[in-house]
């Protein structure tokens, strides 16, 4: 019989998927139960959605996802406690719209992390504590953000300490994308090394894995895994997808070559890329402790609206009818 993803990788790592509440019924729910062993809420636990106003939390979506995981014996990775995106503006301002002080923002960050991590204590095995804090280009280690501006560089350390205090058993991750670029890899390494040297409770690094049929190269990916693992960190692939389009972060406009159709050639190249990636993931057994796909199937993916709004993409292992693609067979056959 055909092995599922979770069966094929049972001896290696949990295979996860990012979900919204709408994925927890019908064909998507069936696919999740059959194939995956872990869930990540795609948006439901981010600051904006879960903490829309100073005195108000919105738990419904996150609770529903955690409840589904409990009923179906799935692990859950939390995402994410501190990010410059999807953070409501109230977080940084007082009642009169004036920017708050370092002390106030630290208090708010602490209250937020304590409350969210505390609610799911023991139910989530890992958290993306700080997300995307390193800029893509230039030489800076710290991305310019309200957190950096108001608190200073130690907002990152504080976030990890607050999370660790709220759930000492959760594995705590720093999560980022473009981790295979030489320059960004080096700057993320500097950040993580500093945290480790200061004995900050950081346990792992999440390589988001928003890749394409053109990248990364095997060498660049292995270099990242080895380099971060050298700090004594576990490594997880936290947001895996393989776009069929060239990946240029700055490009927002449709190109003449954007076909909107998954050609045979694209599907074959995508299958090869997925095979290469999972060959590497298996090679780092023990170091690589999780792989999570960013969405369930090609029916809906965030890439349908990024970087080009309305351009259909096909980045996952299951097609728009939830059927396994060529890439799926490459991933489960080894
Ligand atoms: O829920 C609202 C809805 O009420 C509203 O009417 C609608 C109008 O735009 O927006 C809906 O919210 C959208 C939300 O997704 C839920 O669908 C937001 O506009 C949209 O910006 C948001 O996009 C999410 C994005 O993060 C935000 O930056 C994507 O779904 C999500 O896949 C994406 O995930 C990120 C990871 O968290 C971090 N790494 C990169 C990854 C991809 O960008």
pLDDT of 194-235, one tens digit each? 999 999 999 999 999 999 999 999 999 999 999 999 999 999
Pocket probe mutation, ligand 1, options 43, 85, 306, max atoms within 8 Å of Cβ: 43
pLDDT of res. 199:
98
Report the chain's terminal Cα–Cα distance, integer Å. 15
Span 226-263, pLDDT tens digits: 999 999 999 999 999 999 998 765 566 777 777 788 99
Task: Find out whether the beta carbon of 292 lies less than 6 Å from any atom of ligand 1.
Answer: no
For residue 197, the CA-to-ligand 1 centroid distance in Å is: 35
How many C-beta atoms surround the C-beta of residue 320 within 10 A?
A: 13
Span 149-169, pLDDT tens digits: 999 999 999 999 999 999 999
ipTM value: 0.95
pLDDT of res. 204:
98
Span 169-184, pLDDT tens digits: 999 999 999 999 999 9
How many C-beta atoms surround the C-beta of residue 287 within 10 A?
A: 18
For residue 144, the CA-to-ligand 1 centroid distance in Å is: 21
Whole-angstrom distance, CA of residue 311 vs CA of residue 255: 10
* Residue keyed to tokens 């738990």: 59
Task: Find out whether the beta carbon of 329 lies less than 6 Å from any atom of ligand 1.
Answer: no
Decide: 24 and 70 in contact? Cβ < 8 Å. Answer: no
Span 108-151, pLDDT tens digits: 999 999 999 999 999 999 999 999 999 999 999 999 999 999 99
Annotated active-site residue 239? The verdict is yes
As to burial, measured by CB atoms within 10 angstroms (0-12 exposed, 13-18 middle, 19+ buried), residue 173 is buried
* Cβ contacts of 130 within 8 Å, gap of 6 or more: 80, 81, 82, 83, 156, 159, 160, 174, 175
For residue 43, the CA-to-ligand 1 centroid distance in Å is: 6
């Amino acid at each position: 019989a055909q092995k599922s993803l979770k069966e094929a990788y049972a001896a290696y790592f949990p295979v996860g998927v990012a979900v919204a509440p709408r994925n927890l019924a019908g064909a998507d729910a069936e696919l999740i139960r059959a194939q995956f062993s872990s869930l990540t809420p795609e948006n439901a636990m981010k600051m904006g959605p879960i903490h829309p106003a100073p005195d108000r939390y919105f738990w419904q979506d996150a609770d529903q996802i955690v409840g589904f995981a409990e009923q179906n014996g799935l692990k859950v990775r939390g995402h994410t406690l501190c990010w410059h995106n999807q953070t409501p503006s109230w977080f940084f301002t007082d009642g009169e719209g004036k920017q708050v002080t370092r002390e106030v923002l630290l208090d708010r960050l602490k209250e937020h992390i304590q409350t969210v991590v505390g609610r799911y204590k023991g139910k989530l095995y890992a958290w993306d504590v700080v997300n995307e804090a390193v800029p893509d280009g230039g030489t800076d280690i710290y991305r310019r953000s309200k957190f950096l501006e108001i608190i200073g560089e130690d907002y990152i350390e504080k976030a990890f300490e607050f999370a660790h205090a709220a759930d000492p058993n959760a594995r705590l991750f720093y999560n980022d994308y473009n981790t295979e670029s030489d320059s960004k890899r080096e700057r993320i390494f500097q950040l993580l090394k500093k945290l480790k040297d200061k004995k900050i409770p950081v346990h792992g690094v999440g390589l988001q894995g928003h890749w394409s049929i053109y990248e990364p190269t095997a060498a660049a990916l292995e270099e990242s895994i080895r380099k971060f693992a050298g700090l004594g960190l576990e490594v997880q692939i936290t947001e895996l997808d393989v776009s069929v389009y060239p990946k240029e972060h700055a490009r927002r406009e449709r190109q003449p070559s954007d076909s909107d159709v998954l050609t045979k050639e694209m599907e074959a190249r995508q299958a090869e890329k997925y095979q290469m990636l999972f060959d590497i993931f298996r090679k780092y057994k023990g170091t690589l402790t999780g792989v999570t796909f960013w969405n369930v199937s090609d029916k809906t993916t965030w890439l349908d609206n990024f970087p080009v709004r309305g351009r259909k993409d096909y980045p996952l292992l299951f097609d728009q009818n939830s059927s396994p693609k060529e890439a799926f067979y490459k991933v489960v056959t080894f």
